[in-house]
Amino acid sequence: MRLFTGQRAWVVQRLSALLLLVLILLAMLALPFASPLDFSAWRALAGGALGGPLIALLFGALCAHAWVGMRDIVLDYLQPRGLRLAVLGLITVVLLGVLARVLLSLAMVALAA
């Protein structure tokens, strides 16, 4: 298998962009109706059956989108193979960290509820 894909990465980038657009639009539509959040309301939202999965989806799409974009930047500007793999590894670790942290936070709230 090739390490870097052509069309597949491009499709992931476009699909995640579309998903993010939909989520941003949803947020923009919902926000005017939202009351100022206090801690318990925020936890209820993030731990809810709708809010939790939506936040997870948002970060999932963000991370997938960011990976393709950062990969493209690395492929353009960093030519030495070793440096390239090191930076790509770092980017992957950061994004997996983000994903893990968000999922853990959401799970923590959902379990407490």
Partner 1 sequence: MDKPPHRLPVFLNLAQIRFPIGAIASIAHRVSGVLLFIALPVLAALLHASLRSEADFASVRGLLSSPLSLVVAGVLAWALAHHVLAGIRHLLMDVGIGSELERARASARLILVAAPALALLLLVWGLS
Partner 2 sequence: MRLNIYRYDPERGDPPRMQAYDVQPEAGDKKLLDLLMRLRVQDDSLSFRRSCREGVCGSDAMNINGRNGLACLTALDGLKEPIVLRPLPGFPVIRDLVVDMTQFFAHYHSIRPWLINDEPLPERERLQTPTERERLDGLYECILCACCSAFCPSYWWNPDKFIGPSGLLQAYRFIADSRDTASAERLDFLDDVYRLYRCRTIMNCTEVCPKGLSPSHAIERIRLALLQRSS
Exposed (0-12), middle (13-18) or buried (19+): which is 31, by Cβ within 10 Å?
A: exposed
CA separation, residue 99 to residues 7, 13, 46, 92 (Å): 24, 17, 15, 11
| Nearest CB to partner 2, comparing residues 88 and 102 | 88
Q: What distance in Å separates the CA atoms of residue 80 and residue 87, rounded to the nearest whole number?
A: 11
Q: What distance in Å separates the CA atoms of residue 110 and residue 113, rounded to the nearest whole number?
A: 5
Give me the least distance between CB of 1 and partner 2, in Å please: 13
Which one of partner 2, partner 1, none interacts with residue 84, CB within 5 to 8 A by kind? none
Tokens of 13: 């980038």
Find the part of the chain contacting partner 1 (CB under 8 A) among 1-9, 64-72, 80-88: 64-72
Give me the least distance between CB of 85 and partner 1, in Å please: 18
| Nearest CB to partner 1, comparing residues 39 and 80 | 39
Q: Could you say whether residue 14 binds partner 1 (CB under 8 A)?
A: yes
Tokens of 97: 């960290």
Find the part of the chain contacting partner 2 (CB under 8 A) among 45-53, 75-83, 87-95, 101-109: 75-83
